[in-house]
Structures are given as structure tokens and as C-alpha cells.
Amino acid sequence: MKDPSERIGYLIWQISQAYTLRFERALRPLGLTQTQFSTLVRLSLDGPLSSAELARRCGVTAQSIGTALRSLVERGLVERHPHPTHGKIIEMCVTAAGEALAQQGETALEPCEQETLEPFLPQEQELVRAHLRRMLGALNAPALGPGNGSQYDGT
């Protein structure tokens, strides 16, 4: 039997668990979950998207994005608008309040980022990010956003 710490999946899972606790703790005062925060950031960066594309880019299920969107719409952080050319598609758009809250979330998460990268020298930190983006691109390219290997057009 192989030691679990020799498996990349185990290491990613353990890092994810540890980071998620810090991430959730940092966002709790803002009343945001990880999925809600990711939704606000994706919409702020990428513009209007369908809920299906949001789910792909956030790496969550359609049900999870639906729950996050309901709450964000109720809070006035996201609005629904008909797609300009596809009659059946509803796009989600971030409001000014949603963008402001996403920015507050970014600020709140900065200590998590610093703590996570602390073991690495400054020149190694970008290399760590690059390797993680490469792994993510291989497993879920839409999560990298448009122009980063995503095969989806936002619909």
C-alpha cells in the first residue's frame, strides 16, 4: 500500500481542506460562501454569463450555482437579464454592490494567500501559481476563464 502523502490527489485534498477553512473564515464576516464569492469574481472579471457557464467556471454543480445565485440576486448583488441573441438563455450580471463586495472579499482573502505561500521564496511563488494553473487547465479549463483554454462561449 502506498503512503497517501505520495499521491497528488491526497495532497491536493488536504491542502484544499486546510485552505477552505481559512477561506470560509475570511469570507464569513461578509456573508459570502466560497461559491458566492467565486460567482461574484467570475462575473466581475468575465461579464455576463449563463448559470451553466458560471457553474463550469466556478467548478461547481448546477445546483450549487443555483443556490448561490438565488441568494446573490435576493441581496441585490447579481441581476438576471435575457441574453441579447439567445432567447432561452438568462445571463447573470454583477451589480456595482456585487463588485464592491467581491473586492472586499479579495482584501479579506489576502492573509490566506500570504499564509499559504509563506513556505516559498518570492521567486518560487509565481512558479507555484503557474503549476497549479497548469493542473487546473488539464482538469477544468473553464475555471481559468476566457482565453485560457476554455472551450465554452458563455452560454
- The reported pLDDT for the residue numbered 83 is 80
Secondary-structure percent of the chain, ordered helix, strand, coil, rounded to 5: 70, 10, 25
* Percentage of residues in the chain having pLDDT higher than 70: 94
d(CA 76, CA 56): 23
Please, which pLDDT band fits residue 148 given cuts at 50, 70 and 90? low
The end-to-end CA distance of the chain, in Å, is: 45
Say how far residue 70 (Cα) sits from the centre of its chain.
17
Which tops the pLDDT comparison, 90 or 107? 107
**Mean pLDDT, the chain, integer:** 91
For 30-39, how does the pLDDT look when each residue is reduced to its tens digit (9 = 90+)? 999 999 999 9
User: Is the per-residue pLDDT at 155 higher than 80?
Assistant: no
d(CA 86, CA 142): 21
What's the pTM?
A: 0.84
d(CA 35, CA 41): 10
d(CA 34, CA 108): 12
Query: Which domains, ranges and CATH numbers included, belong to the chain?
Result: 4-142 (1.10.10.10)
Closest CA to 92 of 61, 55, 59, 141: 55
* Percentage of residues in the chain having pLDDT higher than 90: 79
For 97-120, how does the pLDDT look when each residue is reduced to its tens digit (9 = 90+)? 999 999 999 999 999 999 999 999
